[in-house]
């Protein structure tokens, strides 16, 4: 079985490589596709330069991905791979040798360092893989990297001061193994290697540091050296630059116009490799937290292409190059049979449920747009993601902030006070400014701030007209919640309000709710079929009983479940290799299954998906069994995925395979499994009758107001007549 899987992976890799090589590229190297360099292996997830990090590259990509080694020398002149000159961050060397004053490679022999274990050197990344792998000698890394190596020499002058020659070591090493690239920020080192490195075998690459740093050899800043590429060409075949040298980013995290660096370097015959790529770092808002979009900016912009990427997550650039580049989104056909449903429009980029969010969702390729219905004080239904205006508008900054009240029956307020949609008229609500949602604010991940306060809230009648404007839509989804509360406390029938608007609808309509009673009301009052009704399971579940499935099937044709109900995970790691039984049971009964919510922010995916939203989407769409629909606040990511060029050839990522790599002493204990969905969870009493609400004492009725107006008008006219009479007299 293992040999069959290996043959299958080889065939997949062959297809992908053929797809990439058959395209024309704007790279320097005869139009060949860009190179992917794995910095310290898969260092975005596993400890940098560990055997597990290097091994993960081979498991997830292809043999042509180059392994990066930050080469360090020990006291006895052994070469090892480690990301920093100092070992105190990235290893447990302080615990092993607590009496040392310094913990550098030159302070230890190889034998002494061979007992040191590696740990994650970026504190925001998982530590569950710490203390498992030992430091590797360069010879062991070379055996893992079948296509060769990239050696980075950062501190050759430092080793010279300690009577060690990095140059001599590298020359000797290159005679024993294949080294594709040697990079360094030290011009003196590269010049010393010039006569020994044959360009056909090993390319010398000048590594640029931050623009304001000074190169000691020339006493010039690296920014100045970037303007003198003809000088660089004298001792190097290419340059390695931080990505902002090519696409600068403003202080408020927006892309600036790209520079001419790549074009200028290619004109000098220099290859250009871009560095500092990681899926779990904050990037320009223009990329919408999608790492694939960022990579495509560097290779698929119509003007230039870099010759390679240095990445902590090599799977993402590998797929960006081979599967998503040079993709004509208009002409490309859908490869996957999955429905894309928006979550409050394209709310990852624009304010929830506004005209701009819906327009963006349609441009991005959504199939169905959604409207969460709220009702105003004057009983006008409209689209807004929350019944509490404080969550999605600037209402607290207006004169309406004194309308705050408490409604303990509304779960989303969490028993705090709010300013509710039913407290303001529609005309008052339309004076408010929308506020962009930031569901990951606690992790300091904010959505596009330039789009904050932009857009207009739509009434339900306006929303129902959108399919007439956008022919690409296959339907619309209307979400109805809080029906019982509105009926008993506000005298509002939200079901009747929606049904009245649906009389004028011309497109396919789906009604969604977490409440069976609401869907039953639409079924009975609106004569809607089960196929038009969608039931939402509003908790994470591990199973569903047959009786619960039978109950759901009696009033709905589709079910929405959470991602965790398909792939349970805790502390961002999946412990099981197979999905739960929820999707198979629901689909085998004839119910369609939609899963939510797919977002681009890396904190929304377990580590098993490598902080890549596309990898996560691929797992759900092509997994067994496949789901019927994806609910997402970033529709563009899914729309691009289902049109990719190697849809059926991509190797499937399997969950649960990270657990054996984890340190059992650090790995937290498994949580109690999620509960099963039983029929008592689904069953509900019918909606209560709508109670009439007496008008507030301070607000006169329309009839009384009219009478007062007539009385005032009569008194004014009488007074004017008397005044005129006395004036005449």
Residues of the chain with confidence (pLDDT) below 50: 1-22, 697-729
pLDDT at residue 694 in the model? 53
Q: Are residues 104 and 222 in the same domain?
A: yes
Q: Are residues 217 and 356 in the same domain?
A: no
What is the number of alpha carbons within 13 Å of residue 288 lying toward its C-beta? 22
In a domain, residue 365? The reply is: yes
Q: Using CA atoms, how far apart are residues 689 and 399, in angstroms rounded to an integer? A: 34
Decide: 460 and 498 in contact? Cβ < 8 Å. yes
> At 485, which helix (H) or strand (E)?
helix 483-489
Q: Are residues 346 and 263 in the same domain?
A: no
CATH number of the domain bearing residue 227: 3.20.20.190
Instruction: Name the phi and psi angles at 580, rounded to 5.
Output: -70, 175
Q: Are residues 285 and 386 in the same domain?
A: no
pLDDT at residue 719 in the model? 39
CA angle 454, 458, 462 (to 5 degrees): 135
Q: Is the omega angle on the peptide bond into residue 625 within 30 degrees of 0, that is, cis?
A: yes
Show the beta-strand stretches assigned E in 143-223. Answer: 149-152, 181-184, 203-207, 214-215, 220-221
Q: Using CA atoms, how far apart are residues 258 and 24, in angstroms rounded to an integer? A: 21
In a domain, residue 700? The reply is: no
Q: Which of 269, 294, 324 is the last residue of a domain?
A: 324
In a domain, residue 413? The reply is: no
In a domain, residue 259? The reply is: yes
Work out the end-to-end distance of the chain between its first and last CA atoms, rounded to an integer number of angstroms.
116
Question: Do you know the residue count of the chain?
Answer: 729
Q: Are residues 203 and 318 in the same domain?
A: yes
pLDDT at residue 349 in the model? 98
In a domain, residue 395? The reply is: no
pTM of the model: 0.91
In a domain, residue 6? The reply is: no
Q: Are residues 218 and 356 in the same domain?
A: no
> At 3, which helix (H) or strand (E)?
helix 2-21
Q: Are residues 624 and 665 in the same domain?
A: yes
In a domain, residue 724? The reply is: no
Pairing type for strands 417-418 and 339-342 reads: unpaired
Q: Are residues 555 and 645 in the same domain?
A: yes
CA pseudo-torsion sign 493, 494, 499, 504: positive
Rg (CA), the chain: 31
pLDDT at residue 10 in the model? 41
In a domain, residue 443? The reply is: no
Q: Which of 61, 16, 22 is nearest to 38 (CA)?
A: 61
Q: Are residues 197 and 288 in the same domain?
A: yes
Decide: 237 and 200 in contact? Cβ < 8 Å. no
Q: Are residues 629 and 667 in the same domain?
A: yes
DSSP 26-77: -STTTTPPPEEEEETTTTTTS-TT-HHHHHHHHHHS-TTSEEEEEEEE-TTS
Q: Which of 643, 664, 682 is the last residue of a domain?
A: 682
What's the domain range around 527?
A: 339-390+456-682
Q: Are residues 504 and 460 in the same domain?
A: yes
Q: Are residues 283 and 374 in the same domain?
A: no
Domain total of the chain: 2
Q: What confidence tens digit (pLDDT) does each residue in 197-232 have?
A: 888 899 999 999 999 999 999 999 999 999 999 999
């Amino acid at each position: 079985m293992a040999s069959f899987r290996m043959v299958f992976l080889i065939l997949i890799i062959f297809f992908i490589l053929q797809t990439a090589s058959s395209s024309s590229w704007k790279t320097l190297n005869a139009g060949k596709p860009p190179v992917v360099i794995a910095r310290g292996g898969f260092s975005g997830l596993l400890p940098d330069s560990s055997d597990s990090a290097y091994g993960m590259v081979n498991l997830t990509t292809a043999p042509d991905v180059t392994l990066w080694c930050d080469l360090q020398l020990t006291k006895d002149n052994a070469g090892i791979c480690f990301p920093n000159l100092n070992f105190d961050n990235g290893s447990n060397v302080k615990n092993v040798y607590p009496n040392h004053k310094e913990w550098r490679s030159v302070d230890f022999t190889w034998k002494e360092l061979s007992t040191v274990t590696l740990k994650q050197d970026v504190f925001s990344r998982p530590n569950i893989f710490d203390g498992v792998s030992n430091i590797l000698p360069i010879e062991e890394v070379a055996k893992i990297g079948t296509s060769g190596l990239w050696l980075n020499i950062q501190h050759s002058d430092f080793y010279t001061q300690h009577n060690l020659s990095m140059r001599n070591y590298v020359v000797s090493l290159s005679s024993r193994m294949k080294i594709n690239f040697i990079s360094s920020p030290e011009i003196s080192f590269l010049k010393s290697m010039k006569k020994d490195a044959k360009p056909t075998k090993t390319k010398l690459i000048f590594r640029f540091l931050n623009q304001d740093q000074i190169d000691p050899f020339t006493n010039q800043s690296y920014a100045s050296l970037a303007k003198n590429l003809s000088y660089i060409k004298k001792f190097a075949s290419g340059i390695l630059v931080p990505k902002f040298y090519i696409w600068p980013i403003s202080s408020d995290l927006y892309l600036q116009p790209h520079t001419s660096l790549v074009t200028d370097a290619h004109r000098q015959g220099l290859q250009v490799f871009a560095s500092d790529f990681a899926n779990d770092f904050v990037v320009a808002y223009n990329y919408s937290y999608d790492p694939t979009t960022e990579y495509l900016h560097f290779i698929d912009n119509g003007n230039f292409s870099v010759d390679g990427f240095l990445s902590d997550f090599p799977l993402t650039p590998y797929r960006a190059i081979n599967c998503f580049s040079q993709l004509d989104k208009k002409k490309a056909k859908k490869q996957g049979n999955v429905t894309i449903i928006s979550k409050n429009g394209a709310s990852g980029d624009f304010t929830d449920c506004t005209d701009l969010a819906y327009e963006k969702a349609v441009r991005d390729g959504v199939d169905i747009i959604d409207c969460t219905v709220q009702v105003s004080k004057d009983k006008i239904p409209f689209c807004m993601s929350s019944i509490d205006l404080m969550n999605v508008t600037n209402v607290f900054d207006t004169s309406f902030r004194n309308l705050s009240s408490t409604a303990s029956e509304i779960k989303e307020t969490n028993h705090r006070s709010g300013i509710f949609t039913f407290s303001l008229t529609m005309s008052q609500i339309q004076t408010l400014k929308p506020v962009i949602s930031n569901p990951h604010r606690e992790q300091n991940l904010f959505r596009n701030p330039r789009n904050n306060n932009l857009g207009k809230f739509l009434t339900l009648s306006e929303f129902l007209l959108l399919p007439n404007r956008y022919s690409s839509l296959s339907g619309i989804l209307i979400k109805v919640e809080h029906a019982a509360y509105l009926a008993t406390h506000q005298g509002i029938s939200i079901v009747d309000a929606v049904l009245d608007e649906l009389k004028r609808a011309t497109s396919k309509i789906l009604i969604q709710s977490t409440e069976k009673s609401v869907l039953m009301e639409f079924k009975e009052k609106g004569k809607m079929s089960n196929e038009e009704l969608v039931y939402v399971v509003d908790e994470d579940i591990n199973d569903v009983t047959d009786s619960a499935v039978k109950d759901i099937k009696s009033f709905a044709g589709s079910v929405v479940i959470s991602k965790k109900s398909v792939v349970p995970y805790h502390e961002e790691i999946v412990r099981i290799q197979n999905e739960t039984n929820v999707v198979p049971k629901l689909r085998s009964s004839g119910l369609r299954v939609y899963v939510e919510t797919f977002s681009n922010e890396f904190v929304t995916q377990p580590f098993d998906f490598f902080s890549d939203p596309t990898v996560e989407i691929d797992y759900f769409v092509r997994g067994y069994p496949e789901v019927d629909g994806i609910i997402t606040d970033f529709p563009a990511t899914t729309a691009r995925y289902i049109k990719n060029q190697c849809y059926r050839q991509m190797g499937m990522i399997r969950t649960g395979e990270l657990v054996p790599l984890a340190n059992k002493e650090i790995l937290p204990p498994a949580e109690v499994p999620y509960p099963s969905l039983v029929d008592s969870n689904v069953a509900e009493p019918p909606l209560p009758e709508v109670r009439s609400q007496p008008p507030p004492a301070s607000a006169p009725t329309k009839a009384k107001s009219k009478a007062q107006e007539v009385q005032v008008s009569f008194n004014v006219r009488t007074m004017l007549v008397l005044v005129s009479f006395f004036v005449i007299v």
